[in-house]
Amino acid sequence: MTKLTPRLPRRRGRISPDLTSSREELARLKAEDEAEYQRYRAIFERLRPDLITDHYGWYIAIELNSGDYVIDQDKEAAHKKAREKFPNPVFFI
């Protein structure tokens, strides 16, 4: 006869409750993310007609503050080029 292992009790709740954000804070962060996405999207929509004919299916990395961008066929290569060109800012691929 095989020996059964005892079941461990399930852990419930957060590991660190003091790090839990309030609903208002989460809503504010979500609104900021959406506003930033809309700014990226506006830049992309402005660039799209020029790029779609020659670079369809390529990856584009856009830096938000300047509107500057890099493109490449490979996602990792586009990311690497963007890191070289924009070392500090956050960019969107």
What pLDDT is stored for residue 66 in this prediction?
84
Both tokens of 42, joined, read 């506006």
Q: Is the pLDDT of residue 11 over 80?
A: no
46-69 residue pLDDT tens: 989 988 888 888 998 888 888 888
Those residues with Cβ within 8 angstroms of residue 75's Cβ, 6 or more apart along the chain or in another chain: 59, 93
Q: Is it the case that residue 10 has pLDDT exceeding 80?
A: no
56 C-beta neighbours (distance < 10 Å), count: 7
Q: Over 70: is that where the pLDDT of 13 sits?
A: no
Q: What is the structure's pLDDT at 65?
A: 83
